[in-house]
Every structure is written in C-alpha cells, then in structure tokens.
Structure 1
C-alpha cells in the first residue's frame, strides 16, 4: 500500500507540529522512543497496536496518517468565457472553496441590478484596475490590492481599462454558481 510509505512522515509532522519531542509523544502513548523513531523513519512496520495509542495521544484519526498521496497535484481544467470575463480555474472541481484567475475586459460601470448570494469573496488584483461596486459605493482597486466582503452585500466588478484586469478570486460554492455560471 502506497499510503503506508508516508505514514512515518505524517506521524513525524503531527508530532513536530505540536512541538513535541520523540520522548514526549512516546511517553504519552506508552511506547518506547526508539520504536517511535524507527516508525517515523520507516524502519518499523506500522500496526494497530502501535498506531492506536499514538493517534490517541496526538488526537488524530488513523485515516489522517493514511491519507492517500495525490499522484499529480496539478489542476487540469480548461478556462471558459462569460460576458466580459475569462475564468481560469485554479482548484479542483471537487473543492468546497473555488479559486480562479479571472481576466476582465474593460467595460462601463455595471448599470443593472447588483448581485447578492450567501458567503464571502476574497480577491486580489494581479494587474490592471478593478472597479468593485458594493451597494452604493464604488471602490477602485489597483495591482497588489486585495478585498474581502460579505457577498450578501449587493455587488459587481469590472475592469476600469483601458487594459484588461487580472484578479485572483476565491469563492464558496454559492459564489461559484453566481459569478461563473459554469457548465
């Protein structure tokens, strides 16, 4: 099982993440420090008799130590167009939080009703200038600026121009449906 190949590394990360020494975890779990050291180094076979007291002492589940290794972590999703924007997905479709690089082409200020939906949105301007309309306020963000807002506030965004505006944006699931209307 490939999952077992990384068990020792995950165990060490859980221990050191708490600032614990080998000796302190070994004492809490009732195992010898040398056994724990060999287990972390991959020189000792893991078994339930060892893992149960260790995971209990660390307050983690055995599943957290056996999480499968992602073979290829790259996100391979095609960009798509919608109105004056191109969406480049940067997170897997299965993620609860979606991240996009969005390229907005210049257009006049939004003149229709502003949108609302549940959640929060976070965005970061990579290049250009972004017009962010929040209710009756208009805010111009420049390269290097970020904003976070409650998306129950009526809002819209557009590129000021004359060049395109590129932003990184993070949405919850409701925000993805509202902003991207993907698929």
Structure 2
C-alpha cells in the first residue's frame, strides 16, 4: 500500500477534528480547495511540504501525521546511521527523517537521495518556509523558479521554498544530501 493512502485519512480526521471544511483548510493554507481534497482522497502522492504546512497549521507533529505515532523525546534525539524514519512519499526520492523522535521540532531534517533523470522528468513543488541543502555525495541540479543551479559535493544551498523547485542527480548518478526544512 502506498503510504499516502494511509496519510490521507489522518489529514481528513485532523481537519474534521478541528472542525474545518475543505474550503476553510484551503483558505488557511492559501491553496485551491481541489488540491486539499485531492490530497485527502488518498489517490495521489502528498508533497512533504504540504504535510509540513498542515502539521504546523494544526499544531501536530509531522511524525504523527506521517506515521500515526507520536514522537516522545524532548531533551534530545539520537538517530543512528541507517535508522532514519523512511518517508515514502514520492516514488523517485528516498526521504529519511532524521529528527522524527524529537517532540516539538522547529525544523525538519531529512537525508534525501534523488536519482539521476532527464530535465524533462523533473517535477516542481513549492511549500511554505525555507530550505537548506548540503550535498554529501554527487552533483545536484536544483531548478529554482525555472533557473538551474548546480550544487556539488560539499556545497550548500539555502532558499525560499515557496519558489517552485525541482531536483535531480547529474552525471547519471544518484545524489545524497541533507535537507533541512524550516
């Protein structure tokens, strides 16, 4: 089962539990009501940026929204190598949440692997907040507001994630990077 099919009912339950209609939720998120309904339908992938916006708006932890389980650590959280919580939200990206155990997070750190692909296969997204990327392995193309930026191993890139952006690995290789969403 695709994970978004499990997340969609949590989105509906959260919205309804607060007492908002789809239209009210859409207004609060500044997006079309059709998009909110589509994400709640369980028939399409749900962008992590949307889930982050909903979790912040509704004051619910992102881990709870994604997994249905509450994070419990409040003073620190240690996530060992290869133990990140897998966020299977897109077919072409591998997301591992690195802060999922910590309750009340102010940022969302991820270890992300993006495959090499053609420029035509890049899919744009946008969401509230800011984003920080630090490339660990490979070369990454970030298309930001239609303009390509090449980020290489050891480089970092900080940007307004409300701007449309898309990612791909270059040179026929996957790229691995730390991504922190604020």
TM-score (norm. length: structure 1):
0.50
Match of 2:85 in 1: 78
Q: 1:134: how far off? A: 0.7
SS at match of 1:79: strand
Instruction: Output aligned runs, 1:92-107, within 5 Å.
Output: 92=100, 94=103, 95-107=105-117
Structure 2: gaps (5+ residues): 1-72
The structure that has the greater radius of gyration is 1
Equivalents in 1 of 2:74, 2:145: separation in Å?
45
Report if aligned partners of 2:77, 2:99 keep a CA contact under 8 Å in 1. Answer: no
Match of 1:152, SS state, is coil
- For 1:106 and 1:165, the matched residues in 2 are separated by 8
TM-score for both structures, normalised by structure 2: 0.50
The aligned length equals 104
Query: Secondary structure of the equivalent of 1:139?
Result: strand
Per-residue deviation, 1:114: 2.5
1:110–1:157 contact (8 Å) kept in structure 2: no
The alpha-carbon distance between structure 1 residues 104 and 74, as it changes in their structure 2 partners (threshold 3 A), is same
**In the alignment, which residue of structure 1 is the partner of 2:96?**
88
Deviation (angstroms), 1:97: 0.7
Q: Which 4+ runs in 1 deviate beyond 4 A?
A: 110-113
